[in-house]
Amino acid sequence: MHLGRKTLIKPMMIILLGFAGFALLFAGYIMYGNRHTIPWIKKQIQIIQWTENSDQQLLGPNNQRIYFHETSGRNQLNMRQSCAVESTAKENPDRPIQLIMQTNISFINTHGTWLNVLSNYPNVAVILINEMDYFRDTPLEDWYRKGEWRQSPHKLEHFSDYIRMLSSLKGGGLYMDLDFVTMKRFDINNFLAVADAAVEHISNGIFHFDYGHRLIREIVKELAAVQHATNRKICGLKKGQPLSNECQDVALMPYNFVYPIHWPDWQVYFQKATRNVMQWINGSYAVHVWNKMSHSEPLLIGSDQVYATLATRHCPFTVARAAEGHGTAHNSEIFNNQHQQLNRAIPPIHLVSTS
C-alpha cells in the first residue's frame, strides 16, 4: 500500500512541475507581450552626444543602419516624424535605426512623449550632433563654412540635402525622410527610387549606399563644387527610360516601391481607406505622405483615413499617445488631441532629376 503511494507521488510531482513550468512560460510570454505597459519593466533609449572621436563607433561604416535627419534644429519630434521612425523600427527590428538631430543633450526633455514612444524599440538610437564638427574634415566642410547657402530662401532644404549625403559618405546605410510610414522590412541594398510613374524624377528622400560606394563619393564631390544642390543627371538615366540606368551596381526601384501615390494625388492619404486603395498601397515597402503639400491636412486618429489606418497598424505607440491627448504642455505641440491638425515636418526635396 505504501509502495503504491510512492509510485503515485512521482508522476504527480512530474505533472505539477510541468504545469508550473508551463505557467511560468505563459506568464513570461504575457509579460513580454505587455512589457511596454507594465510600469516596473524599465525602458530606455540611447541618447548619444556625437563627437569626432566617436565617429567610427556611432556613425562609422554600417550598411545595415537606417538613419533619419531632423534638420530644423528642433529638440523634439512631431507625430508624423515619430511615426516615421517608429514604423521603420517596428518593421526592421534587426536593423539599427538612427535619428540624427542638431541639438545638445541639455536641450532634450528625456521625459518627452516622442522619446517615450521610441523607447519601446531597442534598435533605436538618438544621436545628437554639432553640425560644424560634423562637417569638419569632410569634402563638404568648405561648402558649410562659406555659408552662401544660408542666403537662400531654401537654406533648410539645401542643408538637408547636403547633410544626408554626408552621412551616407561617413557611414553608408539607408536614408529616409521623416514623412514616410514604413510597412515592410527593407531587404535591398544600393538603390535609388523613382518618384513617379513617368520616371521623370529620382528621389533623394530615400536611398541606400554601402559604405565607400563610388556613386556616393561622386555625388558628394559634385555637391562640394556648387553652393546649392541642383537638379542633375545620375547614372545616365533618361526621362521615361528606366532601362537607361548605367549604374549596374545600383538598383533603380519602381515608383510603387515607396511612392505608390504620386504627389498630385496626395489627398488620397487623407481620404477613406477603400479596399482598392489599400490593396494598391499594401504592395509597397513604405509610403511617402508628401508633407510638403499635406502638412496642413489633419490626420484624424481613429478614423478610416488611409494615413490614419496605416499609422494605427505600423506606428501603434505613436498613435496611442496621440489619442490620449493629455501630454504635458511641453509635448502638446508634438502630439495633438484627436482630430487636431499636426505640426509640419520638414518638406521633402527632389534633388536628383533625369530631366
pLDDT tens profile 197-213? 877 788 999 999 999 99
Instruction: Look up the pTM and report it.
Output: 0.80
Give the tens place of pLDDT for each residue, 45-90.
Answer: 888 888 766 655 656 789 999 999 999 888 999 999 999 999 999 9
| Runs of H (alpha helix) within the chain | 2-33, 55-58, 79-91, 113-118, 131-135, 141-146, 155-171, 214-224, 275-281, 291-294, 306-314, 316-324
**355 residues of the chain, pLDDT tens digit each:** 455 555 555 555 555 555 555 555 544 444 444 444 434 344 678 888 887 666 556 567 899 999 999 998 889 999 999 999 999 999 999 999 999 999 888 888 888 999 999 999 999 999 999 999 999 999 999 999 998 999 989 899 999 999 999 999 999 999 999 999 999 999 999 999 988 887 778 899 999 999 999 999 999 999 998 866 655 668 877 777 777 788 889 999 999 999 999 999 999 999 999 999 999 999 999 999 999 999 999 999 999 999 999 999 999 999 999 988 643 222 333 444 333 333 333 333 233 333 2
Report whether 217 contacts 333 (CB < 8 A).
no
Give first-to-last CA distance, the chain, whole Å: 95
Report whether 70 contacts 325 (CB < 8 A).
no
- The third-level CATH classification (topology) of the domain covering 46-353 is Spore Coat Polysaccharide Biosynthesis Protein SpsA; Chain A (3.90.550)
